[in-house]
Amino acid sequence: MKPRRRAPPHADDEQASPRARPRPLAATLLHVSGYDGFGLWMTLGLALAVGVYPAGRGDVLVPISLGAALVAIGLLAACLHSRWTPHWHGWVIGKGSRPTRAALVALACILPVLAVAGLARGDNAFWATRLSGAAMSLCGLCSLIVTSYADARRQAPDMDSRLATQLPLSRVVSATYGGGLWLWLCSAGQDIDDAALHPRAWIIGLLALALLRGLVESLRWQAALQRVGRPRGRLELQPGRYLAALLVYALPCLALLLMNFSDGWLALAALAAVSCTVGMATELSLYDEALAALPGGP
């Protein structure tokens, strides 16, 4: 009598997998650093387009290079096929796979960035520089929106539409806040005169972004926790969330407020930018765990 063959796994078994696949913290940190880099380019391009960014070729090339470094870290890890970062925006590099739409949109941002780097001169009021800055800001915004949807489909394929529509706004606000802190780090090491964007404007703008991000993230967390079937006390009162709030909001805002009373601008700006990036990575890891706890779809 022939042994009975095992039936192949049914499609419903694949759908029974967890709704989200939490990433390792190192991969999440690279992910956050990447969209902070796009946020830096977006805020820099907006400041150039409006005409409020300080003049100077080096003052433009430094934040462009820093944004490229933040973006390239994750891309390099995907090229090396690291265990915790096997792909870059869904693109498995070097294995015969074609770039995904999100990866192509992200790569397209390099073109206006190169244009701004080539056109930047001592006076950034040149119309071509301002136009390229607007294009860089717009491309960064489009990349953040497209990659947020793609990331949601990979992390939680069964995510409902209401949660999915909250991701682009959260990604854009977070990237603007984080990228603004990195841009402030670049500006802190430069001589800013009274005719250019005054440091106090940086402080007010970044504090407003911190307040807006806190509101957006609070609404996103509440929307996710309302869908958790089991008792949600463990997810809602995690110590990691208090640590993330300390790193994302308390330390950067304290550094911003101390800027008027201290001469160590560069150290305060570095503390704020690094603390915010690590905190947002911690918060995103906890949010992935909350998505994994959601009940499966029908």
Summary mean pLDDT of the chain: 82
Residue 288 has pLDDT above 90, yes or no: no
For the chain, give the percent of residues with pLDDT over 70.
80
The region of weakest confidence among 8-22, 118-132, 274-288 is 8-22
Single-letter code of the amino acid located at 290: A
Q: In 10 A of CB 70, how many CB atoms?
A: 24
91 strand-pairing partners: 88
Instruction: Locate 228 and state its tokens.
Output: 């958790």
Q: Cβ–Cβ contacts within 10 Å for residue 210, how many?
A: 21
Please identify which residue in the block is written with the tokens 């709030």. Answer: 245
Q: What is the pLDDT of residues 100-115, one digit of tens each?
A: 898 999 999 999 999 9
**pLDDT, tens digit (0-9, with 9 covering 90-100), for 19-71:** 456 677 888 999 999 999 999 999 999 999 988 887 778 889 999 999 999 99
Tens digits of residue pLDDT in 115-150: 999 988 767 778 889 999 999 999 999 999 999 887
Rounded Cα–Cα distance for residues 290 and 18 (Å): 11
Cα separation of 87 and 81, whole Å?
A: 7
Q: What is the DSSP letter of 122?
A: S
